[in-house]
Amino acid sequence: MKPQVKTIIQNTLDWYDRHGRELPWRTKGAAHADPYKVWLSEIMLQQTTVPAVKPYFEKFTEKYPTVHDLANASSEDIMRDWAGLGYYSRARNLHACAKQVSAAGGKFPRDKAALMALPGIGDYTAGAIAAIAFGQQASVIDGNIERVLSRVYAIETPLPASKPEIKDVAQVIYHSNANTRPHDLPQAFMDLATAICTPKNPRCVICPINKQCVAFKLGIQNELPKRAKKAERPKRKGFVYWMTDAKGRVLVETRAPKGLLGGMTGLPTSDWNDDPQALNGFSGDAEKTTIKHVFTHFELTLTMIRVKTKAAPEGYRFVDIEDAGFPSVFKKVSKYFQRSNAAFRSKVPVKQTR
């Protein structure tokens, strides 16, 4: 059995017209979605789920309604507004890209190669912008679309080795004459993957392309896509320091612009490695609890030190905890100390005044 490209496209788009999601960056059925909104949403959606992105997208489009507004914002504001969304190099590239597009007049290029020359825009994002914002027949393949295509074409080679095979079938679909709605098709596949062709127990019986799906026909849909075993994440350790002043403000630094969490507001920490050395000038008592945080490339265990001295060392400053704009790892530490301080206060007897 050979899947019929025309039927796959037609049935997927018909299903999308009836069941596709309403999303704040989406203009369903219209050929011209706003390239700025498409770009912004696609950068935010890299490695991040739709529910997590929605409030950030709304905040950014309200605060920075055009690419010029974003370009003219300070990097501190952008990092603070991005805090909690993770993968912070995206925020730095977002700002750099906005500056370039703004300086060139504010229009995003339509061409995939020109889009890929902009900071933070790789093959996938360039394809998505070219297709969704400019209606071009570009291949758009994310992890969800990989899953659908692996199943429809019963590709049994494990990922990532199967990527070229998936790319070939995607190329045939996206560049087919039957693809008369290039701006809708990638979004239709994404929604189908999220609602019907789910990672576990896909809902094949109600799937609009089940008659074209080889994996369903063979009864192997739950086994696909296969994946090569991932190597275990390396483990690193470190110290993180919690120091507050008389007003209850917390000591922070602005992290170096390059590297992990670059440019973000952070708590003072040691290096993160197998054998971290305590940070000079910071001493105090270690808490019994440690904090674990998983980054893409390693797993971090932080020993938390409550610092006793009260003067801010050079290069650090005190800020209100609510205004710190911490990335997730430091939010965890901050929550721990706020909870532990509240528990301590509740144990202190209240002085009777009358």
Rounded-to-integer distance, Cα 269 and Cα 279, Å: 7
Specify the residue for token string 């095979």.
165
Smallest separation, CB 221 to ligand SF4 (Å): 4
Neighbours of 75 (CB within 10 A): 14
Nearer to ligand SF4, 151 or 255 (CB): 151
Which of 116/220 has CB closer to ligand SF4? 220
Reduce the DSSP state of residue 293 to 3 states and report it: strand
Q: Which of 134, 141, 218, 221 minimizes the C-alpha distance to 173?
A: 141
Question: CA-to-CA distance for 207 and 197, rounded, in angstroms?
Answer: 8
- Min dist CB 165 to ligand SF4, Å, is 16
Name the minimum Å distance from CB 128 to ligand SF4.
21
What percent of the residues of the chain are helix, what percent strand, and what percent coil, each to the nearest 5?
A: 45, 10, 45
Angle between helices 35-45 and 50-63 (to 10 degrees): 140
> Which helix (H) or strand (E) is 129 found in, with range?
none
Q: Which residues are catalytic?
A: 42
How many other CB atoms are found less than 10 A from the CB of residue 176? Answer: 15
Q: Least distance (Å) from ligand SF4 to the CB of residue 206? A: 8
Nearer to ligand SF4, 28 or 211 (CB): 211
* Interface positions with ligand SF4 (CB under 6 A): 148, 151-152, 196-197, 202-204, 207, 209-210, 213, 215-216, 221
* Nearest in space to 304 (alpha carbons), one of 321, 275, 320, 284: 284
Cis peptide before 257 (omega within 30 of 0): no
> Which residues does residue 318 pair with via DSSP β-bridges, in sequence order?
251
Greatest alpha-carbon span in the chain: 87
* Minimum distance of ligand SF4 from residue 90's CB (angstroms): 30
For ligand SF4, give the closer residue by CB, 83 or 204.
204
Cβ proximity to ligand SF4: between 193 and 240 the closer is 193
The minimum distance between CB 216 and ligand SF4, in angstroms, equals 4
Which residue's CB is nearer to ligand SF4, number 130 or number 207?
Answer: 207
Q: How many CB atoms lie within 10 A of CB 16?
A: 22
**Which backbone phi and psi does 215 adopt, to 5 degrees?**
-60, -40
